[in-house]
Amino acid sequence: MSTIDSVARKYRGLYLTAIAQELEQMLEQAETQAASYLHFAEMLIEQELQLRNGKRIEQNQRRSCFPVYKSLDEFDYVFQNTISKREVNSLLDFGFIDNRENVVFIGSPGVGKTHLAIGLGLKAIESGYKVCFSTALSLIEALELAELKGELKKKINQLLKFDLLIIDELGYLPMNKQGMHNLFQLINAMYEYRSIILTTNKEFTHWGEFFFDGNVAVPIVDRIIHHSHIFMLGRESYRLKSKLNN
């Protein structure tokens, strides 16, 4: 005779962990609601899908390497009114990822660029996309190390496995010649194939200040701004505001 435990073990044997864990509770719920067989079958699979989706999101969040979690719900559109909630929400259908487009946030340090980039990245993960976050400095160092090992192409191919690459703080420090060329190789490989969210403190016309080579800066800018959504953020720093209020 079948028991709840014996049936649960069979579900575990099929790696249907959520169903196995919640079987008794769902049986009781189905009896209370006088659920049909079809409804009960749907309850079982929805429970399993919910658990697996939660695990997938958690796993992809770990792989994304976000330094902190910043929710879009926490963004202060009243203080930072140079970008509207409607403009940000227009990106949440993630058509820009599906269409291999880029998003660029330009503004002084502390105005919320990284917050928006991380918030969009987290929402993208919840919607099923794979996201990788890196500061520009860390990314360039990783590419340079890979190039020294003769593995630059391998490293770029690893990054291309993500649907969205977030490059934070490009332009804060100058790059050497090899760093510029490695970055160009990555941007060129991603062009019209994967999407980028980029944050920078410099307008495109000033990128020569940290690239030092127009022959590299121009094609990088061209590939980033083509098919892109560009947002200029102004006003004073969030961090300065927070410090002054303490």
Digit-coded pLDDT (tens) for 19-72: 889 889 989 999 999 989 999 899 999 988 888 888 888 998 999 999 999 999
What is the model's pLDDT at position 214?
66
What is the model's pLDDT at position 49?
87
Task: Tell me if 129 sits within 8 A of 94, measured CB to CB.
Answer: yes
Tokens of 138: 């860390």
Element holding 213 (H helix, E strand): none
pLDDT band at 246 (very low <50, low <70, confident <90, very high): very low
Please give the CATH number for the structural domain made up of 72-245. Answer: 3.40.50.300
What is the model's pLDDT at position 97?
98
Pairing between strand 131-135 and 195-200?
unpaired
Domain ranges of the chain: 4-64, 72-245
**Greater pLDDT, 174 or 93:** 93
Q: Is the pLDDT of residue 187 over 90?
A: yes
pTM above 0.95, yes or no: no
In sequence order, which residues have a C-beta less than 8 Å from that of residue 43 and are 6 or more positions away? 26, 29, 30, 35
DSSP 13-44: HTT-HHHHHHHHHHHHHHHHHT--HHHHHHHH
Q: Which amino acid makes up residue 198? A: L
Q: What value does the mean pLDDT of the chain take?
A: 89
Query: What is the arithmetic mean of pLDDT over 106-118?
Result: 93
